[in-house]
Amino acid sequence: MEADRNAMMVEAIDIMVDIWTSDPPYEFDGEYWQISLKDWIHDDIGPGYMAKPYQKPYPPIAVSAMSPFSGSIKFAGSRGYIPISANFIGTWSVKSHWEVYAEAAAKAGHPTDPEIWRVARNIHVDETDAAAEAFVKTAEASTDWYFSYLFRIFERGDMKGPFVVNEGDDPAALKHEALRDNFTIYGSPETVTEKTLALRDEIGHFGTLMLTAQDWTDKERMTRSMSLLAGEVMPRVNAAIA
């Protein structure tokens, strides 16, 4: 935890890109990672060669972020990578991500169209608001346990500040139920549509809503939720913003 994890990430990405776009021998002498593959390189039988991606020059790279005014998102902007805002943070923090990304992208000469921005959220759609609320708030069930687990990490790492529901809230007063209830979009198809549009109104335009997957404690209801999201919610959302 004491290491500069962003710097480690950047160096690792550079290594991957180097391997994706070059042939052996591979030699990378970094501050955190050292890669050397110089011996036993044989064209006819394959040793020494790393598999190349089918997409050229390589697949799109996405970087996720959870802290307000995230350094990871700033880095993504500087490279023109896809920015992803985490699902377990407040909208005040999510909103800051595009500001940082667009500024860094503009400085580096990359496009600043928010269509590239992906925002992750926990979402549960049910037949009624009451059914959705009961599912999300059931103790030790999928959603509740997920946020309880995250909360314990934040608490023991003394890092609750970035995860408060509203900017300026007291981190000491934060409970896992606040994360669960505020960072999950839940309700009937009509309610989830309204909440999704409200999210977009608050943080600004973004290109992709990412549904966060969790353990299937009730496969039938969770797959039904995804069907309702795809078949009823998103057509209404897209019609509203068309």
26, with CB counted inside 10 A (0-12, 13-18, 19+), is middle
| DSSP string for 159-171 | --GGG-SSTT--G
| DSSP string for 9-41 | HHHHHHHHHHHHH--SSEEEE-SS-EEEE-SS-
Residue 221: DSSP 8-state: H
CATH 3.20.20.30 residue window(s) in the chain = 65-242
Output the pLDDT for position 49. Answer: 85
Output the pLDDT for position 107. Answer: 98
Residue 130 in tokens: 């009451």
Q: Which residues contact 205 (CB under 8 A, 6 or more apart)?
A: 114, 115
Output the pLDDT for position 4. Answer: 85
Output the pLDDT for position 63. Answer: 96
Pick out the chain residues at pLDDT < 50: none
> Taking the model in full, what pTM does it have?
0.90
Phi, psi for 42 (deg, rounded to 5): -130, 115
The CATH number given to 65-242 is 3.20.20.30
224, with CB counted inside 10 A (0-12, 13-18, 19+), is middle
Output the pLDDT for position 38. Answer: 87
Residue 44: DSSP 8-state: T
Straight-line distance from the first to the last Cα atom of the chain, in angstroms, rounded to the nearest whole number: 45
Q: How far is CA 88 from the centre of its chain?
A: 9
The whole-angstrom separation of Cα 210 and Cα 214 is: 13
